[in-house]
């Protein structure tokens, strides 16, 4: 199975894909590129971020991204902020009243609840579950989430189990159980971990992923090694050629380190490694031609 076939299979058969990885290595670009590809495959796609500064809008051609879903045909975007998630949970899963709405809008009440450890993460997962499984509106076929960076992401993934083991009861625990069961369904949900072929990042990846796989209910579907260079074309001993040639050498060493590390980590052996090429500058919004090159990998 080629890289493109593998990616298409994920996009056609999953309902939720989390995209995570170390900050600043291109996970937002990967998430948006996956969304565009899913759209081309005929799927109704919702891209979710949770960011103070929106990032997916410019890449997908939206002038703004709010907590409420915005759609352009079969492509949608939303920024599931902590405050919006809190409001949605209270009003959609507990009760509806003008008094309750006023209470939810109170900044002091909001600050109190969102300061509880794990509360914001739980509300985020609940909001995603609602959008895919409970919303009375037309639902997406797949949600692609431009998720937290790796450290915060593992906290997000361990929140359901922490709540279920807490001894609490009531509607929050009932919903958490449903969300956790859905996340654990490997036919529906998966995680794509984004890394780059640099020695330090590869070392962190080999250390982090076994921990994530042991603690998260969501299976790791693939590892995308972003910004991979093709072999540098010789060029009259130019500084640019020397720089690229050195990067290719370091990249090769990092990929070798990854392969050797995986051979000794049983949980990682079956996880697909995808090589994503360095494209340099990317036009906004993304165009389909860039996606073919992005997911074509390294020959």
* Per-residue pLDDT tens over the stretch 169-217: 777 788 889 999 999 999 999 999 999 999 999 999 999 999 999 999 9
* Per-residue pLDDT tens over the stretch 28-69: 999 999 999 999 999 999 999 988 778 899 999 999 898 889
Question: What local confidence, expressed as pLDDT, does residue 102 receive?
Answer: 54
What is the band of 231 on the pLDDT scale with cuts at 50, 70, 90? confident
The mean pLDDT value of the chain amounts to: 86
Distance CA 185, CA 79 (A): 25
Distance CA 214, CA 187 (A): 18
Distance CA 267, CA 292 (A): 30
Lowest mean pLDDT among 30-34, 237-241, 247-251: 237-241
Secondary structure letter of residue 94 according to DSSP: I
Report yes or no: 5 and 37 within 8 Å, Cβ to Cβ: no
Residue 114 has pLDDT above 60, yes or no: no
Distance CA 69, CA 210 (A): 34
Q: Please, what are the domains in the chain?
A: 3-296 (3.40.50.300)
Query: Residue 262 corresponds to which tokens in the numbers above?
Result: 């995986």
Question: What local confidence, expressed as pLDDT, does residue 236 receive?
Answer: 59
Distance CA 11, CA 143 (A): 10
Lowest mean pLDDT among 28-32, 134-138, 214-218, 283-287: 283-287
Question: What local confidence, expressed as pLDDT, does residue 178 receive?
Answer: 94
In this structure, the strands spanning 189-195 and 16-21 are parallel
Distance CA 173, CA 248 (A): 50
Percent residues over pLDDT 90 in the chain: 59
Residue 104 has pLDDT above 60, yes or no: no
Question: What local confidence, expressed as pLDDT, does residue 294 receive?
Answer: 79
Residue with tokens 């090694």: 225
Residue 103 has pLDDT above 60, yes or no: no
Query: Which one has a higher pLDDT value, 15 or 86?
Result: 15
Question: What local confidence, expressed as pLDDT, does residue 123 receive?
Answer: 85
Distance CA 38, CA 168 (A): 39
- H or E stretch including 87? helix 82-89
Residue 243 has pLDDT above 50, yes or no: yes
Cβ-based burial of 53 (10 A; exposed 0-12, middle 13-18, buried ≥19): exposed
Question: What local confidence, expressed as pLDDT, does residue 232 receive?
Answer: 62
Question: What local confidence, expressed as pLDDT, does residue 95 receive?
Answer: 52
Secondary structure letter of residue 93 according to DSSP: I
**Number of C-beta neighbours around residue 182 at 10 A:** 20
């Amino acid at each position: 199975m080629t890289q493109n076939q593998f990616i298409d299979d994920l996009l056609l058969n999953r309902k939720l894909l989390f995209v995570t990885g170390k900050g600043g290595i291109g996970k937002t670009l990967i998430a948006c590129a996956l969304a565009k590809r899913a759209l081309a495959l005929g799927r109704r796609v919702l891209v979710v971020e949770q960011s103070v500064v929106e990032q997916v809008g410019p890449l997908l051609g939206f002038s703004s991204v709010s907590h409420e879903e915005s759609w352009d045909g079969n492509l949608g975007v939303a920024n599931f902020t902590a405050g919006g998630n809190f409001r949605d949970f209270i009003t959609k899963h507990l009760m509806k009243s003008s008094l309750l709405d006023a209470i939810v809008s109170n900044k002091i009440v909001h600050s109190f609840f969102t300061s509880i450890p794990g509360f914001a993460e739980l509300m985020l997962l609940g909001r995603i579950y609602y959008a895919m499984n409970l919303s009375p509106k037309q639902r997406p076929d797949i949600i692609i989430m431009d998720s937290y960076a790796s450290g915060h992401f593992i906290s997000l993934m361990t929140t359901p189990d922490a709540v279920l083991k807490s001894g609490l009861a009531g509607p929050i625990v009932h919903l958490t159980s449903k969300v956790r069961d859905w996340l654990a369904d490997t036919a529906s949900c998966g995680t794509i971990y984004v890394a780059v072929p640099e020695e330090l990042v590869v070392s962190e990846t080999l250390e982090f992923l076994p921990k994530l796989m042991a603690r998260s209910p969501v299976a790791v579907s693939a590892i995308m090694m972003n910004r991979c260079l093709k072999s540098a074309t010789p060029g009259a001993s130019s500084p640019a050629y020397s720089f690229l040639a050195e990067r290719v050498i370091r990249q090769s060493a990092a990929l070798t380190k990854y392969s050797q590390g995986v051979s000794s980590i049983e949980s990682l052996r079956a996880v697909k490694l995808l090589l994503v090429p360095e494209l340099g500058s990317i036009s906004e919004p993304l165009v389909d031609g860039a996606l073919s090159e992005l997911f074509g990998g390294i020959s």
